[in-house]
Amino acid sequence: MNDMYKNFGIDGTVAGFCGDVIDGLRGRFDAIDQIAEYNQYKVLAAMQKNKVSAACLSGTTGYGYNDIGRDTLEAVYADTFHTEAALVRPQITCGTHALAVALSANLLPGDELLSPVGRPYDTLQEVIGIRPSPCSLAEYGVTYNEVELLDDGSFDYDGIRAAINDRTKLVTIQRSKGYSMRPTLSVERIGELIAFIKSIKSDIICMVDNCYGEFVEKVEPSDVGADMTVGSLIKNPGGGLAPIGGYICGTKKCIERCASRLSAPGLGQEVGASLDVMVSLYEGFFLAPTVVAGALKGAIFAANIYERLGFHVVPSGHEPRYDIIQSVELGSAEKMVAFCKGIQGAAPVDSYVTPVPYAMPGYNCDVIMAAGSFIQGASIELSADGPMRDPYAIYFQGGLTWNHAKIGIMKSLQCLVDGEFVKL
Ligand SMILES: *Cc1c(COP(=O)(O)O)cnc(C)c1O
């Protein structure tokens, strides 16, 4: 192995340091494998129950009427997430689009949207109209309110109670931390929050942004009362194979409205050709529990490496995990660039490219992104990104296999050592 490392530009000191860290993680890795096995069974059972067949794997064109592959995949998602219905489509372009569909389908002029977990993910801010944008919910007369988490990361129950009013129609709960340093919410905590909200006003629709959380635990937000659970297929549930798409799993009532918003009133879920992507969507979902397990091991490895070097990491090296994101507060733009250079240098695609910070649609400052992925921008693949602003935190995620995540982290460390930003 040492020769392989050397060929890859990783010196003996870095390899030794990383090997020591991994030796301490075996027990946690076993626990992750057990969750993957449980979730593998869940997905397999849903596929068998819905009689996935060869006919499901070939797509349709045009209107896509009676598309058995599409309809069966939606049933498989609904059964895996234990919901009445699901909308799983390649026509949903990304996670932000899935969330925008779920919100705009279920909020009408005069309604209020509440986020009880602080400000949502950057791209959602324009969807809501926190930052003005054409066609935002604000333009359509939907108001917005938010309640921050308390300093210790707990819910501000008094603040939430005070924020709920007659017009509060929908509550959005982001499971993952996004580009912030707050803790990711466990499914159990999400369940407590939903129960509290419904105890105040039982007809509030609770939506969970489940991005990066799928298959990390044995349960999903839909198991603890969420009316809509939403995510991207180029993250966890696509298993690295889905080339595009998003999903919304939830109540029949909510999903029917989402389908009408996505296509057109009157057309709903009946149209939408699946083209050539069905095999990737099924196979990716089938692999997703294992792929997520590999990504989780990578995240824990990264946390332990950088924590040992004195950096503030969220979550810490020993905390339980509720998503696949690992943030490392590097503290300077130069260190972020060096870290990303390492991740990019370990990629199977575009490894010769040097990542540089750049303006991105939906973000209010320059963002650096390292990703040499088979599917453009797929962050279930080995990737790192972060906004170029204080505290200069990098967000690392993905890796289609644990071995690849490991190489990426080792390369990132090597780049920081080479730049004399850290000393082992
Ligand atoms: C990735 C992500 C989204 C959606 O982002 P897209 O890039 O549009 O897929 C939304 N919320 C969170 C928390 C995310 O991590």
As given in the structure block, the two tokens for residue 232 are 């991207």
Q: How far is the CA of 321 from the centre of ligand 1 (A)?
A: 18
Pairing of strands 205-209, 228-232: parallel
Q: What is the pLDDT of residues 79-107, one digit of tens each?
A: 999 999 999 999 999 999 999 999 999 99
Ligand 1 nearest atom to the CA of residue 97, by list position: 8
Helix runs in 228-277, H state only: 252-262
Sequence-ordered list of residues with C-beta below 8 angstroms from that of 318, at least 6 positions apart, any chain: none
Nearest CA, atom 3, ligand 1 = 95
Q: Are 338 and 331 in contact (CB under 8 A)?
A: no
Q: What are phi and psi of 145, to 5 degrees?
A: -140, 155
Length of the chain: 424
**How far from 129 is each of 138, 140, 163, 329, CA to CA, in Å?**
5, 10, 18, 29
Q: How far is the CA of 384 from the centre of ligand 1 (A)?
A: 14
Residue 116: predicted pLDDT: 98
Which strand ranges, in their side-by-side order, compose the sheet holding 367-371?
A: 312-314, 326-329, 393-397, 383-387, 367-371
Ligand 1 nearest atom to the CA of residue 174, by list position: 13
Nearest CA, atom 6, ligand 1 = 95
Q: How far is the CA of 366 from the centre of ligand 1 (A)?
A: 17
Q: Which of 211, 360, 383, 397 to mutate to test the pocket of ligand 1 (most atoms within 8 A of CB)?
A: 211
Nearest CA, atom 9, ligand 1 = 95
Helix runs in 309-328, H state only: none
Q: How far is the CA of 59 from the centre of ligand 1 (A)?
A: 27
Nearest CA, atom 13, ligand 1 = 178
Residue 178: predicted pLDDT: 80
Residue type, 326: Q
Q: How far is the CA of 272 from the centre of ligand 1 (A)?
A: 23
**Can you give the C-alpha Rg of the chain in angstroms?**
21
Sign, CA dihedral 303-173-126-147, equals negative
Q: Are 179 and 386 in contact (CB under 8 A)?
A: yes
Q: How far is the CA of 3 from the centre of ligand 1 (A)?
A: 39
Our CA dihedral for 354, 357, 360, 363, rounded to 10 degrees, sits at 140
Q: How far is the CA of 383 from the centre of ligand 1 (A)?
A: 14
- Kindly report the pTM of this predicted structure: 0.96
Q: Which of 93, 94, 96, 126 to mutate to test the pocket of ligand 1 (most atoms within 8 A of CB)?
A: 96
Distance CA 58, CA 68 (A): 9
Per-position DSSP letters for 84-108, written without gaps between them = SEEEEETTS-SHHHHHHHHHHHH--
The binding-site residues of ligand 1, defined as CB within 6 angstroms of any ligand atom, are 94-96, 121, 123, 174, 176, 178, 209, 211-212, 232
Q: Which of 119, 208, 209 to mutate to test the pocket of ligand 1 (most atoms within 8 A of CB)?
A: 209
Q: Are 204 and 164 in contact (CB under 8 A)?
A: yes
Q: Which residues of the chain have pLDDT under 70?
A: 362
Q: Which of 125, 235, 369 to mutate to test the pocket of ligand 1 (most atoms within 8 A of CB)?
A: 235
Residue 302: predicted pLDDT: 98
Ligand 1 nearest atom to the CA of residue 209, by list position: 11
